[in-house]
Amino acid sequence: MSAEEIIIRWSNIKAMRRMCYRDATQQRACIAKKSHASQHGDPGVSGTLLIQVELLGVS
């Protein structure tokens, strides 16, 4: 995966996070996902991106 693809994927993740809050049902689902991730020590989307970059040997 190229750096451009990582940036595109990152943009898509950010867009998905914004979409979460369009209505109350989606917002609850989004918060549930975030709290579930934080309980398991996941630093969130930025952490996921950093892990992807490290795996690809870009950083």
Q: How far, in Å, CA of 45 to CA of 16, rounded?
A: 11
Q: What is the pTM of this model?
A: 0.22
Q: How far apart are the first and last CA of the chain?
A: 13
pLDDT tens digits along 30-41: 555 655 555 555
Q: Residue 59 pLDDT > 50, yes or no?
A: no
pLDDT tens digits along 6-36: 666 776 666 665 555 555 565 566 555 655 5
